[in-house]
Structure 1
Amino acid sequence: MKRSQIGLDSEEKKVVRLRFDAGFFFERAVRSLNRHQYEKALKYFRLAVEKEPDNPVNHCNLAGILSELGRYEESNKVLETVLNEVDPNLHECLFYMANNAGNMDNLELAESYLLEYLSRDPYGEYAEEAEDMLYMLSLELGRPPKEPIPVELPLHIQKHEEAYRYLETGNFLPAIDLLKEIIEMQPDYLPAYNNLAQAYYYMGKIEESLELIDQVLKKDPTNLHALCNFAVISDAMGKVSLSQRIIQTLKNLVPMHKEHAYKLALTMGTLGEHEVAYKLFSLLAKVEILPEPDLYHYAAVSAWNTGRLIQARRYWKKALALDQQSGVPLFYLKQVEKHLNHPDHTRPVVSYDYRIPEEKKDIPPSEQLEELYSDPSFTQFLYNLLDEGHDHDKFGAIQTLALLSPEDLEEKLREILLRPGENMQLKKMALFTLQDMNAEPPFMMNYEGYKLQIERVYLQTDFSLWKKKWDQVWDCCLKHMQDASSKEKQKAKALWKKQMENGIPTVHKVEGWAAAIEYLAIKQDQQAVTKTSLAQKYNISVSTVTRYIKQLSSLADEIFDKK
Structure 2
Amino acid sequence: MSQRKRAVKNRRPKVIPMRLDATFFFERAVQSLDRYHYDKALKYFRRAVEYEPENPVNHCNMAGILSEMGRYEESNVILRSVLDQIDPAMTECYYYLANNYANMELFEAAEEALVRYLENDLEGQFLEESDELLDLLHYELNRPTKLVTIKAKENVYAHDKARELLEAGRFTEAVKILEEIISRQPDFLAARNNLGLAYYYMGLFDKSVATITEVLAVEPGNLHALCNLAIFYQHSNQEEQLRALIEKLNKTVPFHPEHVFKLATTLGIVGEHREAYQHFRRLLRTGELSGEPSLHHFAAIAAVNLKRYEEAKKYWQNAERLDPESPVPKFYLKRLDAVRAGGENPPTHYHYHLPFEEQFKQWEHSPGQVTEAIKNDPLIRSSFFWALRHGDRRTKVQVIQALGLVADEEVIEALKSFLVDPDEEDELKRVAVLVLRSIGVQDSLAVTFSGRTLTLEARRKSARLPVWDSSWQVVLEHALEGMAGRYDVVQQHDMMTLWVDYLSRVYPEVPKLHKSTAWAAALEYWTAKMHRRTVTYADLVSRYGVSQASISRYANRIDEACGIREKLDLTRQSFN
TM-score by length of 1: 0.36
Look at both structures and tell me which one has the larger radius of gyration over its CA atoms.
Answer: 2
TM-score by length of 2: 0.35
